[in-house]
Structure 1
Amino acid sequence: MATIAITGSTDGIGRAAARRLLAGGHTVVVHARSEARGAPVAEELSRLGTVRLVTGDLADLDQVRSLAGQVGDLDVLVHNAGVWPADGAPPSRQGHELAFAVNALAPHLLTTLLDERVRGRLVFLGSGMVGSGRVDPDDLGSPRPPSRAYADSKALDVVLALAWARRLPHLRVGAVDPGWVRTKLASPGAPGDVEDGGERVALAAAGEWAGGYTAGRSRARTPRALEDPALQDRVLAAMDRLAGVTA
């Protein structure tokens, strides 16, 4: 059985994935922004199996670094946490647009800090909005409207998944589209529910999953521009700089 960390696992898709993985006998490292938010969920999930709680606000790179120190060795790291900021939402602690900071920059930094402690898989979350997102390595984290910010951050997550797959060839790396499901980030008219999304994430974490960009057991459509290794390398370099990563 595997030890699997899932960011943003106190609610929605992450919590549903945690339940499925615990039912399968895996150990789950549950992540929350704070102890107060995470402790009740961790206590509930612990009735299903072995759970460990870690905390840290992904909108603050200093707290991401602290979070990395809490996680320990893993078989799988799932970057599930995500935000769709409201109009006028403040920037991250370091001054970046919030969706970029939480959905992309924090996962990049956390991966950098944990890459030698992850033994098996690295999973990012995509979205049906990936196709409408834009990735410009020279303009990452600047202010933009919420829907554009979210779409751009999800396209960036797919680029990061493909880039990290090249940087860490010994791991199985990719992204999963959880589908259009009813969460706090989706409209009430979404056809799926969090259990559907949780099933897809759990499959990528511990099922028959080849990596790449998938939607459940099928390949998801990846915009051709995001598959460009030159773009991926430029994104990695820009993200390293913004995350304060030094060689």
Structure 2
Amino acid sequence: MALVLVTGASTGLGLATALGLAGAGHDVVLHARNADRVKNQSVRKRMREVIYGDLADLDQTAGLAAQANGIGHFDAVIHNAGVLKGPDVFAVNIVAPYVLTALMTPPSRSIVLSSSMHMSGTTDLDSANFSSPGDRGRAYEDSKLYVTALAMALVDRRPDSLAHAVDPGWVPTRMGGPSASDSLEEGHRTQEWLATAEEAEFSPRTGGYWYHRKSRQPHPAAGNTEFHHELLDKLEAHTGIALAGTTP
């Protein structure tokens, strides 16, 4: 039985992931922006705990990390929360996963939700404004490249833990829309597996980019050590929070 935190789990893929893990007998901590997002008492009863915080707000994200640390050491954290467009794209999609990773007691496994659209992201960090994407045309794509690189950076920064990125596919959630062509079930199966399966069941052991339980090659920058350093430096400067770890 694993203790797993799933962010952005009040609806869509996050909720499906949380319910799937709970149904398999794991202890799940469901994160939602606020209490109004989780009114279904049957969902609440299936969770070990429900915690709240607006991931678009740096202080609330830090507070969420404190809430999580108060629960205990997590076997896995699934960074599911995401925003497709608007002023909070960078805050939710990359800054929040970074802050939670930096402030929480390191979990045994970290899994971030990427997207095939990360392949169109730009490596131009000089013009990236993490406070707001502004008129940056590919903010979502950039944010998903950054969070994929964050997962790969953890492979070196925290070698005793596992880190993976998952492309869930284009699934029919509120974000994906009714025309989405991928399976909702397949969309959450991979992250549940990576969070709880025996390590011998998947290869690579860490640093994988996955689509429907199959390892794929991410954007070249995602595995570039120099890009990792640039990204982490940028995030530390923006948040004032350093990511501790052991660097080789």
TM-score class, shorter-chain normalisation, is 0.7 to 0.9
Is this contact kept in 2: 1:10–1:30, CA < 8 A? yes
Aligned equivalent of 1:99: 89
Per-residue deviation, residues 134-164 of structure 1 (Å, max 9, x unmatched): 1323222253457611111111111111012
Is this contact kept in 2: 1:84–1:146, CA < 8 A? no
Deviation at 1:230, TM superposition (A): 0.6
- TM-score, normalised via structure 2 length: 0.87
- Describe how 1:71-86 pairs up with structure 2 within 5 A: 71-72=68-69, 73-85=73-85
Question: Which residue among 56, 62, 72 is the counterpart of 2:53?
Answer: 56
The answer to whether residue 242 in structure 2 is matched with residue 242 in structure 1 is no
User: In the aligned structure 2, how far is the partner of 1:109 from the partner of 1:33?
Assistant: 16
The answer to whether residue 12 in structure 2 is matched with residue 22 in structure 1 is no
Question: Which residue among 106, 109, 121 is the counterpart of 2:99?
Answer: 109
Counterpart of 1:137, as a letter, is: L
Aligned equivalent of 2:13: 13
- Describe how 1:116-127 pairs up with structure 2 within 5 A: 116-118=105-107, 120-127=108-115
Is this contact kept in 1: 2:123–2:221, CA < 8 A? no
The answer to whether residue 2 in structure 2 is matched with residue 2 in structure 1 is yes
Question: What is the root-mean-square deviation of aligned Cα atoms in Å?
Answer: 1.8
- TM-score, normalised via structure 1 length: 0.87
SS of alignment partner, residue 29 of structure 1: strand
The answer to whether residue 113 in structure 2 is matched with residue 131 in structure 1 is no
Is this contact kept in 1: 2:75–2:195, CA < 8 A? no
Question: Which residue among 187, 190, 212 is the counterpart of 1:197?
Answer: 187
User: In the aligned structure 1, how far is the partner of 2:153 from the partner of 2:127?
Assistant: 18
Is this contact kept in 2: 1:26–1:50, CA < 8 A? no
Of the structure 1 ranges 153-162 and 193-202, higher mean CA displacement relative to structure 2 is found in 193-202
Question: Which residue among 165, 168, 178 is the counterpart of 1:188?
Answer: 178
SS of alignment partner, residue 164 of structure 2: strand
Per-residue deviation, residues 224-244 of structure 1 (Å, max 9, x unmatched): 232210111111111111111
Deviation at 1:46, TM superposition (A): 4.3
Is this contact kept in 1: 2:90–2:133, CA < 8 A? no
Identity, % of aligned pairs? 37
Per-residue deviation, residues 88-131 of structure 1 (Å, max 9, x unmatched): x4x4xxxxxx11110000110110001x342x100111101011
Question: Which residue among 211, 223, 226 is the counterpart of 1:230?
Answer: 226
User: In the aligned structure 2, how far is the partner of 1:50 from the partner of 1:107?
Assistant: 21
